[in-house]
Amino acid sequence: MIEAIMYFGLGFLVASLIALVILPLVHARSARLAARRLLAELPVSMAEIHADRDTLRAEFAMATRRLELRVEALQETLADQQIELARKSDEVNRLHLDLGEKSATVYALQMRNRALGDEAYMTHAAPAVEATAEDQWSQDPGQAEEAARDPGLDKPALAVSRWFSRLWRTRKDEAAQAQPAGG
Segments forming the whole domain that contains residue 53: 44-178
pLDDT digit string, tens, across residues 110-166? 888 888 877 776 676 655 655 565 555 555 555 555 555 555 555 566 666 667 777
Residue 23 counted as domain residue? no
Greater confidence, 15 or 122?
A: 15
Residue 14 counted as domain residue? no
Residue 34 counted as domain residue? no
pLDDT > 70 in the chain, percent: 73
Is the pLDDT confidence value at 5 over 60?
Answer: yes
Query: What DSSP character marks residue 43?
Result: -
What pLDDT does residue 15 have? Answer: 95
Residue 5 counted as domain residue? no
What pLDDT does residue 175 have? Answer: 74
Residue 138 counted as domain residue? yes
Answer for the pair 164, 122: CB distance below 8 angstroms, yes or no.
yes
Give the mean model confidence (pLDDT) for residues 34-53.
Answer: 85
Is the pLDDT confidence value at 67 over 90?
Answer: yes
What pLDDT does residue 30 have? Answer: 93
What backbone torsions phi and psi does residue 78 show, to the nearest 5 degrees? -60, -45
pLDDT digit string, tens, across residues 135-147? 555 555 555 555 5
Q: What value does the mean pLDDT of the chain take? A: 82
Residue 26 counted as domain residue? no
What pLDDT does residue 134 have? Answer: 54
Give buried/exposed letters for 54-76 (b at 16+ CB in 10 A, else e).
Answer: eeeeeeeeeeeeeeeeeeeeeee
Residue 68 counted as domain residue? yes
Tell the burial category of 107 from Cβ atoms under 10 Å away from its Cβ (0-12, 13-18, 19+).
middle
In the chain, the number of structural domains is 1
- What 3-state class would DSSP assign to 51? helix
What pLDDT does residue 117 have? Answer: 76
Tell the burial category of 159 from Cβ atoms under 10 Å away from its Cβ (0-12, 13-18, 19+).
buried
Answer for the pair 101, 180: CB distance below 8 angstroms, yes or no.
no
Residue 4 counted as domain residue? no
